[in-house]
Structures are given as structure tokens and as C-alpha cells.
């Protein structure tokens, strides 16, 4: 892996690490946040090769439809859904119900006015 490759991965890992509990982001949204628009597949790769020691909230990253991208019924799919549900994320018809929290727009989530 080149130094440049490592820096790109680190930008993605940083963006993923910023997703708060109970919220979600899309692969494309993470790519944009990391300054890598149109590189959603790179986000998937970055999560796959991320060292476990980073303890990234990988489970908060979904596809653009708000669904889990892992094969339905797989152990990894069940784990991701369980982790999200434990954080209060609600699913409806296999997709995250964004009206019950959650957000696929990480910038809006991070920069919106605080409540209360």
C-alpha cells in the first residue's frame, strides 16, 4: 500500500468514526465527507481493510437506499442490524426509517442546530 493509498483510507476512516450513535450515513456520503466524491466503493473497501484496533462504527454505514448492503440472512447482516437496533435505529421494510432518527446526510447531521 502506498502512502497516498493509506492517506485516502485514513480520510474515510475519520469520516466513519464521526458518525454518532443512533445515526447512519451512506457509503457515498462518507466518500463526499472524506473529499472523495463518487468513490462509494472505496468506502466499502476501506471498511473491509480497516484494522480492528480502530473500533470504527462500520455498522452505521448503509447503501444509498438506507439498507444494509451485506447479504440478507448472513451473520454479518444480522450483526449490523442488531448493532443499529441497539442504538435505536428503526427498520421498516428492510430499510432504516429515517423519520425515526438516523440520517444519510452526515454533513446535515454534524452541522444542524442543536435541540433544546
Q: Could you tell me the pLDDT band of residue 3, with boundaries at 50, 70 and 90?
A: confident
Lowest-pLDDT range of 22-31, 71-80, 98-107: 98-107
Other beta carbons within 10 angstroms of residue 71's beta carbon come to 9
Q: How far apart are CA 83 and CA 94, in angstroms?
A: 15
Which of the four pLDDT bands, split at 50, 70 and 90, describes residue 103?
Answer: low
Domains and CATH numbers, the chain: 3-109 (1.10.10.10)
* Residue count (the chain): 116
The predicted model scores a pTM of: 0.84
3-state secondary structure of 31: helix
Amino acid at each position: 500500500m502506498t502512502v497516498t493509498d493509506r492517506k485516502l483510507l485514513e480520510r474515510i476512516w475519520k469520516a466513519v468514526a464521526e458518525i454518532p450513535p443512533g445515526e447512519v450515513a451512506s457509503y457515498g456520503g462518507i466518500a463526499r465527507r472524506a473529499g472523495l466524491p463518487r468513490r462509494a466503493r472505496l468506502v466499502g473497501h476501506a471498511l473491509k481493510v480497516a484494522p480492528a484496533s480502530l473500533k470504527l462504527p462500520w455498522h452505521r454505514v448503509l447503501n444509498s437506499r438506507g439498507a444494509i448492503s451485506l447479504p440478507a440472512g448472513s451473520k454479518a447482516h444480522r450483526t449490523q442490524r442488531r448493532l443499529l437496533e441497539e442504538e435505536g435505529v428503526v427498520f421498516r421494510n428492510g430499510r432504516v426509517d429515517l423519520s425515526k432518527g438516523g440520517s444519510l446526510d452526515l454533513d446535515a447531521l454534524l452541522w444542524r442546530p442543536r435541540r433544546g
